[in-house]
Amino acid sequence: MAPGIVIAIDGPAASGKGTLARRLAARFDLAHLDTGKLYRATALGALEAGGDPADPAAAVKAAQNLDISRLTDPRLLHEDVARASSVVAAIPTVREALLQLQRDFARQPPAPAKGAVLDGRDIGTVVCPDADLKLFITAGAESRAARRAKELRQDDAAAIYDAVLQDMKERDARDSERRVAPLAVAPDAVTIDTTLLDADQVFEQASDLIARLCATRR
């Protein structure tokens, strides 16, 4: 494994990027940061403080006071927090407040990691435009909605496919159309469509790309 390697993984909700990032981190001794949870934690912080996540002042305050240990809070998986996170993520001052934290993680991952893998919406385009490898993980909206509905049912949540699909489409629109750091494919990213692939097939494809990259560094 080449030291200091940075892998950027972007994609829409429920595309499988988070699962892939975690598996790659374990396989290649990388530190992993799910940047989407930074925005979820910010949204949760604003909600807990009684603020409106759409209010820039309340959202920025929550971002500035973010405790990274909260990224393991199970409430971050709740759908109301997920919806609020895409709202706070569209606020330029919130993104600015969290940008340096993400870049510092990529440049100086916690020991003994040999590098970092970050997943989110704008890692390859904004956070780490000089990443060693950029992946864009995508899938059809219907496929992603089915996955998310299944996840919610496993957590005993009331998940209705049509409602999840509609929410997914609205979040996709917010993420892609926001003025600052929209969800987009970096020009030099490798796109993997997971619609017809299982997690193991995606993992093997991505692992092969990283192995080839590391071979060129020796």
The per-residue pLDDT for range 14-34, each reduced to its tens digit, is 899 999 999 999 999 999 999
pLDDT score for 131: 97
CA distance 76 to 42: 10
Give the pLDDT score at 171. Answer: 86
Rounded CA gap, 106 and 71, in Å? 17
Q: How confident is the model at residue 20, as a pLDDT?
A: 97
205 assigned to some structural domain: no
Q: Taking residues 34-59, what's their average pLDDT?
A: 95
Question: pLDDT tens digits, residue range 37-46?
Answer: 999 999 999 9
CA distance 164 to 79: 9
Q: Which residues pair with 6 in a beta bridge?
A: 116
Q: In angstroms, rounded to a whole number, what is the distance separating the alpha carbons of residues 141 and 127? A: 25
Please say whether the beta carbons of 79 and 167 come within 8 A.
yes
Does residue 2 register a pLDDT over 70? no
H/E stretch holding 173 reads: helix 161-177
**Enclosing domain of residue 43:** 8-199
The confidence score (pLDDT) of residue 158 equals: 59
The pLDDT assigned to 174 comes to 85
Residue 102 lies in a domain: yes
What single string gives the DSSP state of each residue in 9-72?
Answer: EE--TTSSHHHHHHHHHHHHT-EEEEHHHHHHHHHHHHHHTT--TTSHHHHHHHHHT--GGGGG
3-state secondary structure of 186: coil
Distance between first and last Cα of the chain: 9
Q: Identify whether 217 is part of a domain.
A: no
Stretch 3-21: mean pLDDT: 93
What 8-state DSSP symbol labels residue 132? S
What is the pLDDT at residue 103?
A: 96
pLDDT band at 149 (very low <50, low <70, confident <90, very high): confident
Q: In this predicted model, which residue has the larger pLDDT, 155 or 82?
A: 82
Radius of gyration of the chain (CA): 17
Asked if the structure places residue 1 within a domain, the reply is no
Is a pLDDT exceeding 80 seen at residue 135?
Answer: yes
The answer to whether residue 2 sits within a structural domain is no
Mean pLDDT (the chain, rounded): 91
How is residue 213 annotated by DSSP?
H
Range 184-206 average pLDDT? 96
Number of domains in the chain: 1
Which one has a higher pLDDT value, 180 or 33?
33
Query: Residue 96: inside a domain, yes or no?
Result: yes
Residue 157 has pLDDT above 80, yes or no: no
Q: Is the pLDDT of residue 204 over 80?
A: yes
CATH number, residue 49: 3.40.50.300
- Domain assignment present for residue 206? The answer is no
List the single range of 3-17, 38-52, 169-183 with lowest mean pLDDT: 169-183
172 occurs within a structural domain: yes
* pLDDT on residue 1: 54
